[in-house]
Amino acid sequence: MLSIVLPVYNEENNIERAYQAIRDVLCPEKIEFELIFIDDGSKDHSFDVIRTLAEKVEDANIVGLSFSRNFGKEAAIFSGLSYAGGDVCAVMDCDLQHPPEILVPMYHLWEKGFEIIEGVKRSRGKENLFYKGFAKLFYKLISKSTGIEMYRSSDFKMLDRKVVDEYIKLQERNIFFRALSSWLGYKSAMVEFDVQERCSGETKWSVKSLVKYAIGSITSFTTAPMQLITAMGVIFFVFAVVLGMQSFVKWANGNASEGFTTVILLLLITGSIIMVSLGIIGYYIARIYEEIKGRPRSIVKEVVRSDKMDL
């Protein structure tokens, strides 16, 4: 059976459309499937729609999870995979920007023995210049720091049961599904897709949430920002040695350095570097603090299942 995990946040108009689109693709292929909707603290009636869908649908297994509040997409994906009971599991967006028809070639690749099937973006769809530039910078940074090409990557993936079992064993609280699935290894393949337009509504990603997600993802998966501090320290040390030698030569020749402009600039530069460095170190310490507390990634307050499923 194929389990399909669909994180939901204020998607009340897309839930039933997602079910219909997936059903229309998988049923002709005789692929048995279940849909796992995770309501990530939606402020609309998303979970009511999920409950109604689970009650009325007779030709598919529907599972609905409702979080007690918004815990984020990563937590929703992890929770959905934890509840999935299929031999193979797929993760995709509920707004249908990940085309359901790609599930079929993914499934056939799994049947051929591939354990991780990555959905990679052939085109990114319509994005404003800021979002496109920010995404390019983010993926360039994380690709350089991890050695994994991330620019065309997405959360649209299909994982074998053994891969899912290993993923949900991970103890870390701050997770980055898009990269960790590659880190796990296993036999993998790629399927290209074109990002589609949203069926309804607008993206839930604001500039603030994008920046927060980017910083959280980078710091949860790599220590590159910490290494950047060392690099900045070495560069500034070389600069200081050169400037010191220049000042010494001038002093030896009887020409003292003139004015305070250079001193003030040096103080501003060193002060800025120190503050940025402390900020980066502080962020990693905060991450360590969050991990030590050991709080759950999410809290599921309610679970609904279709009648045809065993309770």
Q: Model pTM greater than 0.85?
A: no
pLDDT for the residue 311:
40
Which of these ranges, 14-18, 77-81, 96-100, 181-185, has the smallest mean pLDDT?
Answer: 181-185
State the DSSP H helix or E strand holding residue 11, giving kind and residue range, or none if neither: none
- Measure the CA–CA gap between 92 and 198, rounded to whole angstroms: 13
3-class SS at 199?
Answer: coil
pLDDT band of residue 205 (cuts 50, 70, 90) is low
pLDDT digits over 234-256, tens only?
A: 777 777 777 767 766 776 776 65
Average pLDDT over residues 192-208: 65
- Measure the CA–CA gap between 135 and 153, rounded to whole angstroms: 11
Contact 97, 21 (CB under 8 A): no
pLDDT for the residue 134:
64
pLDDT for the residue 4:
92
Q: ∠300-302-304 over CA atoms, to 5°?
A: 125
pLDDT above 50: residue 99: yes
pLDDT for the residue 37:
92
Q: ∠214-217-218 over CA atoms, to 5°?
A: 85
pLDDT band of residue 109 (cuts 50, 70, 90) is very high
